[in-house]
Structure 1
């Protein structure tokens, strides 16, 4: 089964121009490690999926945080595992 495109999943123009740009402007340094430049806009504390389900604006920069790539990858793997990790569950 093929994964839908990022645009199909809601990461289109509004996400890039409003959410991502706003988060990275506010958080130029990673809010977790506090040492690397923030390059990723992470939905937090709720995921984009949770925000949409609660009918909240997922493109509001107030609902995100700036992270560096390694911290974003670590957080995503821990809180939203995909592929084999999702199939094995949280206790792998």
Structure 2
């Protein structure tokens, strides 16, 4: 019957011996790329939020207030104070950077 395993196969899986190293490695590599991508997206989102709150607080802009055009450049500069270190870290740790 398709999709069934024997008691012996189940025992091997439960003991951690039910998969050869090649398949285990392929599954781990697949999962890790997803986990790493998700982690990088969260880190970027958190950094941008932190930058936004820093800029708003620095300029005295309260929640739900509009950013006036005359404050746009200063707002961007304050955001970049928080975002730039993250960008620099990502660029320096990029696999592309290591190949150069």
The answer, yes or no, to whether TM exceeds 0.5 is no
Greater RCO (CA < 8 Å, at least 6 residues apart) = 1
Task: Report the structure number with the largest CA radius of gyration.
Answer: 2
TM-score range, shorter chain: under 0.3
**TM-score under structure 1 length normalisation:** 0.27
Identify, as 1 or 2, the structure richer in helix: 2
**TM-score under structure 2 length normalisation:** 0.25
